[in-house]
Amino acid sequence: MAAPPLLTLKDVALTFGGTPLIESAELAISPGERACLVGRNGSGKSTLMKIAAGLVEPDRGERFLQPGTTLRYLAQEPDLSGFDTVLAFVEAGLAPGDDPYRARYLVESLGLTGEEDPSQLSGGEARRAALAQALAPEPDILLLDEPTNHLDLPVIEWLEGELGRTRAALVLISHDRRFLSGLTRATVWLDRGVTRRIDQGFSAFEAWRDAFFEEEERDRHKLERKIADEEHWLRYGVTARRKRNVRRLGNLHSLRKERRDERRPVGTATMTSMEAEASGTLVVEAKGISKGYGERTIVDNLSIRVTRGDRLGIVGANGAGKTTLVNLLTGKLAPDSGVARLGTNLSMMLLDQARAVLEPTMTVTDVLTGGRGDSIMVGGRSRHVIGYLKDFLFAPEQARTPVSVLSGGERNRLLIARALAQPSNLLVLDEPTNDLDLETLDLLQEMLDDYAGTLILVSHDRDFLDRVVGSVLVSEGEGRWTEYAGGYSDMLTQRGKGVDARTVATRGGARERTEPRGEPAGESSRKKMGFKEQHELKTLPVRMRELETGIARLKTVLDDPDLYASDFARFEKASSMLSAAQTELSAAEDRWLALELLRESQAS
């Protein structure tokens, strides 16, 4: 018999202003649950999480927490005020009987010493401190709202391992696809105020969501046809039977009201970049450049060449010097030694991670127009600012909204809208994916795929890097940077490990390096292939062909437009099998590539 849920929400509703934010939300969290809460920016995910945490009272509905259940909630913007040190803040989350040494372990594992002043922390450091406080008591339920925001890759990978080992039930909100796919076994989708759930992890969500929208669109077309038929009858049908006419007229009004009241999906963003004239073939060339501050070396004797159309990703731990490196490559900062030069005919657009250009008192319109009227030049023609804002999912009434009341995702979308309206042939994006919902991430990726210029991207989003960049420049520590061909996963295969963790000071004053958890130990130093690996290398191509055949067959089944409505169980099973087969194929391809590289290294 299954254990009863630890936490339940039933028929929850909440309205801010006129339109209901949440109309009918359900949530049930059982012991050991691994669930993600997904939905677009502004759909109410964070609000629903706060209701689950008991921090917000809904207008309607029930919240029940099993007596004795411990729950910890990580907010997007944690408050550390009132504490002298980070360690004191983390220890405040412990209950009587909790292990006090766990607080110290978590603080140091997350790259902090515990002695920091909370008021002086960066956004990423504050997030790590709040994570340590949430994880320290080993609660029954963990509610984590964007836990990977402002974290670097080593900490994200460490956190994946820590959450994978915890016995707590998890509910995660995140835009990091790989993070969600690796940790979740159930998905709760908040869409237009209503929750829907599938008992499958995030990797199955997008296919299920797309099928749902397709079915909804078919139902909408049926309604439109029915309305058209009724209107035709009303105009041209027999009018002698007055009572019947009145009844059918009433039906038509009802159908029209149904169509008018229906909450449709929010429109998709339309991202197009304004491209300038083509740059010269050479975009950036650095020869032996070095940069340091005091005794610390940020860049040591780096030579790199970026040509027109390249997609270069830059990754490293927080504090490794990624922003400094970008400034050196783009000419904003002079190297201490060596030469860095830019190519000809460059029009550069920089999207700053710090969002320094957004003044809190400016309105959304002012950010785009500079306070000069209601029009903006996009693609060489004038557009009304409200029409352009609609392309980026802003409602017309938000045009005069101050920046200070926008969510993190809305601020980021506004910056992207501003950046893409200006002509460029070199895009420099510093953490563009922070706070964006998954659909907007997809559209940003499509825009970058179509962008004819050159891209330099700084990101901690492994999936986004895999989708967008053609090479990755990685911090090796001590100012050394190495370029690897391919995306993040390709770099992982070639390098044998992920991004090195930052060096942290311990209590004794010594410094130690914490390697990311979960990386294959010593993989890069192995010299010989065993019999098992040789057998794998021979048999994997056969298995990959079998998986490709199976995937094609499952896609044929799912291509049936009537399957969802006529046989939902078969549709759900086919969707689950397709997701599993695609995941297995990806893993098999990665494994084959790693073995092939090992075989080639032996032959050379």
* Annotation: binding site: 39-46, 316-323
CA 18 to chain centre: 29
- DSSP alpha helix (H) spans, 237-261: 242-261
**Non-local CB neighbours of 245 within 8 Å, separated by 6+ positions:** 234, 237, 239
Q: How far apart are the first and last CA of the chain?
A: 59
The DSSP annotation for 549-585 comes to HHHHHHHHHHT-TTHHHH-HHHHHHHHHHHHHHHHHH
**What tokens appear for 324 in the block?**
């400094």
- Categorise residue 227: left if φ over 0, alpha if ψ from -120 to 50, beta otherwise: alpha
In sequence order, the β-bridge partners of residue 171 are 35, 143
The DSSP annotation for 59-82 comes to SEEEEEE-TT--EEEE-SS---TT
d(CA 80, CA 90) in angstroms, rounded, equals 9
Task: Give the Å distances, CA to CA, from 405 to 9, 362, 367.
Answer: 28, 11, 14
Contact 415, 373 (CB under 8 A): no
Residue whose C-alpha is closest to residue 149's, from 234, 46, 54: 46
The annotation places the binding site for ATP at 39-46, 316-323
Residue whose C-alpha is closest to residue 359's, from 398, 316, 404: 404
- Categorise residue 71: left if φ over 0, alpha if ψ from -120 to 50, beta otherwise: beta
Count CA within 13 A, CB hemisphere, residue 288: 2
Strand order in the sheet with 7-15: 60-65, 7-15, 20-29, 194-198, 186-191, 34-38, 169-173, 141-145, 71-74
d(CA 438, CA 173) in angstroms, rounded, equals 11
